[in-house]
Chains A and B, each alone.
Chain A
Amino acid sequence: MDPVNEFLPYAASSAVFALEPQVRKALRGRPAEFARAVGAAFAWEYSGNLTWIVEQPDASFLIAGGEYIPRARPADEAGDGEGPAPSDAGSSDGVAAAARPRRYYRRIPATLQSVVVGYLHICAPSRELASGLNSMLGCTLELVEKERQEVALLEELSASWESLDALFEWTVDMRNLPDRQEMLNRIIERAVAVRSGANAILWIEDEGMLVPAAWVCPAPPEPRPLRTGVVGRALDQKSSLILRRAGHLSSILDNEPELAAAASVVVVPISTQSQLHGALEVWMDDCEEDFESPHLRLLEALAMQAALVVENERLYAVQLESERLRQEVDIGSRIQQSLLFSRVPDRIEGASIAAVTLPSKTIDGDFYDIVDYSPSCFDVVVGDVMGKGIPAAILAAAAKSGLFRSLCQLMVDTGRREIPQADAIVTSLNAAVARQMISVDSFASLSYARFDLGQGMVTFVDAGHTKTFHLRVRDQQTFLLQGDNLPLGILQEEVYQQIAHRFEPGDIFVFYSDGITEARNPSGEFFGEYRLYECVREFASLPVEALIEKIRSTVVAFSQREIFEDDLTCVVIRIHPASPSSAEKRESRSFASDLKELSRIRQWVNDLWLRWAPRSHAEDALYQLILAVNEVASNVMRHAYRGDASQRLRITAWVEDQRFCLELAHTGIPFDPASTTPPSFDGTRDGGFGIFIIAKSVDKIVYTRNDGDWHTIRIVKSFGPGPEEASAG
């Protein structure tokens, strides 16, 4: 027989604990025939739990509760069947034996305030006696219940006051303690002070084990499995448990040696609403009186204190963890910014390139690179390593460094100063990183594209990446570039295949990570490829920086959030248009928003002018144009970008109707020329000349303030003598 169950007749919940002395008192007052009529024992099935009423050898009664299910349910046995002998163990052995010859058994509904609360199982010498017994017991129960309620209420009230008092005192006390162990020590001191001579252990749950965190008892306790014995039972029930006459129970205490000599035991679970943290176990070895309700109240209050201590510590640990995670994200995004994304090279002629990345809250393995071999030949690489966090970022960095190593190796191997083919680069890269990736169960998708502007040809290796979008501007036809190679890191000896694809001047290519197409709106819908392509089509005429900004803002507007589950990476390339009149007279270049770039901008404009100007151009007109573009760029850097040198501005220059046109595009604060004050010409102020200089130096100036974040300033200067030139003579 299960020792715990064997013991159960003596275990009681705290509620029954309060009931018991009252019942005992009430039943003791009945005539002696009552006890004899009952004979040995009967069971009362109370709301699904069995509560046993057992006659003691001293003719007093004991009520205890538990979940004992009799081996043979009395209800199954009709009429004069063999009655259960629930108390055929322990102290009531003798009485049970006395009951056996009577063999008369009845099961009668027990009512309390006209509600059936259970069934009486009665072993009695006659049917009449059993019925009489039932009504007698019914009256008794009602009486007892009322009395119990009254007493419980009173006890509750005074106990509440006491615990409230104690709680206040302890809380004040605890506030001054430095750490968790001190606090738990203080709690255990308080627990044993509840009754003199008490022992106590404060158990804290740790990975499925109960570990003693503080104790006052003769032998230091050992960690033990969570659901063991009496303590385990209280944890299962999630309620306090009082145990008495533990001296009888040595058979079940193999796992709880501290209770070997315990006469009375209280176990109070330590828990918060969300979590079970452990248990407070308090016991007395020698005592006449059991733990009473007020003691229990105080111990419950202490357990609550312990729960607060443990929960606070847990929350603190959670906070530390989230702090650590935040740092990881921070480190990850720095890895990303410095290793995984590259500057867009500005010496590529014949194509404009812009890239954007929106790092997610968890950092992905997105990466891209643009390698320029000559002004008309460059590679675009966009990749995505499976996984998240720093591991993915590091793998991505490894993939990128592997890429450059493969590139160098191939160049050395061929022995010629020839750029290796895209398929050879990707095959070599895969061979280099596959082992690493396979060993950590990861892989990477990749798009590798070699643009040859001279040939109008892109050579393309797709390693399981998102389809690359190509918009042929001439007839608005779209192409989706996709190969059927495996992603990197699946098979080390995989040979990658490239495909060749033609493009025309003015065409647009969009490379992107699945973070864009898989961005979701609040109802869970994907952004998808179609929306991306529509967006590109709609804003195809904008400068690439503005186009990519439109893509970004469209995804943000769709998903209604700024922070995404995945990184969003997008690289947009526009092949410069080549209409015969402007083919060789249009150029675009991106500059850092750094005042040190001003001299480069002046030099670039100077060179373009000298290249494009007719023979009859005026030198002063050139000075004035340079002066004007310098002032515009300097204003953008200092005011629109407020001196933030990490920003970029793009300048496009072209010739139109024998006039030199320059357009500066920026994403900073738009400029309002009306807001400036005119300069003073008497030398009393240092500043304020910029706008005046621009206006005086060029034929035309147009400020365009766009809907999005992209703003432009266009200046036009004719190659002939300027307007100021004519009047200044």
Chain B
Amino acid sequence: MALVTTNMDGVVVIEIPGPSLDASNAKDFKNEVGPFLTNEGKVIFDMQHLGFVDSSGLGSILSCLRQLNASGGDLKLCGMTKPVRALFELVRMHRIFDIYDTREQARGAFTA
């Protein structure tokens, strides 16, 4: 799993590769994304390529949030497709995560 990352003025935007984040690749994802979860890190996951996320995939994203929060950093999500949004709402995770339509909106939320 190769991650495409962009630095937007100190905020790291990570595009999660598609088409799905499920039990078969959630561990890989966690290993790949680990180095970017630095202390006080500001991270955005761009999820536009993800057509499907299951409970394992959700768990891996949730663990990233907890790791960043613990070190004073934060994680914001953007670019969610409809099926993925449906999952987040099903398990009420839309209340836990800051979710934006675009990465610019998410980037703006960090400075606010």
Contact = CB atoms under 8 A, between A and B. Distances in A.
Interface residues of B, number: 28
A692 interface: yes
Contacts of A251: none
A686 B58 CA distance: 8
Contacts of A596: 24
B96 A682 contact: yes
Contacts of A620: 86
B96 A626 contact: no
B66 interface: yes
Interface string A616-639: 000110011011001100100110
A631 B55 contact: yes
Nearest to B60: A686
Interface string B10-27: 000000000110111000
B34 interface: no
B63 A686 contact: yes
Nearest to B83: A623
B89 interface: yes
Given A623-B83, A634-B22, A686 B62 contact: yes
Interface string B58-88: 1110110110000000000000001100110
A37 interface: no
B60 to A, nearest CB: 7
B8 to A, nearest CB: 25
Closest 7 CB pairs of A and B: A686-B59, A595-B24, A683-B96, A689-B55, A623-B83, A634-B23, A690-B55
Given A623-B83, A689-B91, A599 B24 contact: yes
Contacts of B62: 683, 685-686
A674 interface: no
B90 A634 contact: no
Interface size class of A (residues with CB under 8 A): 20 to 34
A599 B20 contact: yes
Contacts of B54: 598, 627, 630-631, 634, 690, 693
B22 A598 contact: yes
Contacts of B56: 634
Given A684-B66, A687-B55, A692 B23 contact: no
Nearest to B91: A689
B72 to A, nearest CB: 17
Nearest to B84: A623
B19, B55, B59, B66 — which one has the most chain A CB atoms within 10 A of its CB?
A: B55
B109 interface: no
B21 to A, nearest CB: 11
Interface in A365-422: none
Contacts of B97: 683
Interface in A589-625: 595-596, 598-599, 602, 619-620, 623-624
Contacts of A602: 20, 52
A626 B86 CA distance: 12
B20, B22, B54, B60 — which one has the most chain A CB atoms within 10 A of its CB?
A: B54
Contacts, number: 81
Nearest to A689: B55
B24 A681 contact: no
A634 B52 CA distance: 14
A681 B55 contact: no
Given A686-B59, A690-B54, A724-B90, 9 more contacts: A627-B83, A630-B54, A634-B22, A637-B23, A681-B91, A681-B93, A683-B66, A693-B90, A697-B90
15 contacts: A595-B22, A623-B83, A623-B86, A624-B86, A630-B54, A637-B23, A681-B93, A683-B96, A686-B59, A686-B60, A686-B63, A687-B55, A692-B91, A693-B87, A728-B90
Nearest to A724: B90
Nearest to B87: A627
A502 interface: no
- Secondary structure dominating the interface of B: helix
Contacts of A697: 90
A138 interface: no
Contacts of B92: 681
Contacts of A679: 91
A626 B56 CA distance: 15
Contacts of A637: 23
B33 to A, nearest CB: 14
A638 B65 contact: no
A28 interface: no
B91 A693 contact: yes
Interface string A671-685: 000000001011111
Contacts of A627: 54, 83, 86-87, 90
Contacts of B86: 620, 623-624, 627
Interface string B90-102: 1111011100000
A724 B86 CA distance: 10
Nearest to B97: A683
A44 B12 CA distance: 117
Nearest to B65: A683
A96 to B, nearest CB: 105
A30 to B, nearest CB: 106
Contacts of A634: 22-23, 54-56
B91 A598 contact: no
Nearest to A599: B20
A696 interface: yes
A371 to B, nearest CB: 30
Contacts of B65: 683
B22 A630 contact: yes
B19, B59, B63 — which one has the most chain A CB atoms within 10 A of its CB?
A: B59
A307 B9 CA distance: 89
B66 A599 contact: no
Nearest to B25: A595
Contacts of B60: 686
B65 to A, nearest CB: 6
A728 B63 contact: no
A598 B62 CA distance: 21
A351 B56 CA distance: 34
A679 B93 CA distance: 11
Contacts of B58: 689
B23 A599 contact: no
Given A599-B24, A626-B52, A683 B90 contact: no
A640 to B, nearest CB: 13
Contacts of B24: 595-596, 598-599
B23 A595 contact: yes
Contacts of A686: 59-60, 62-63, 66
Contacts of A599: 19-20, 22, 24
B59 A687 contact: yes
A657 to B, nearest CB: 25
Nearest to A679: B91
Contact of A689 (B59, B89, B96): B59
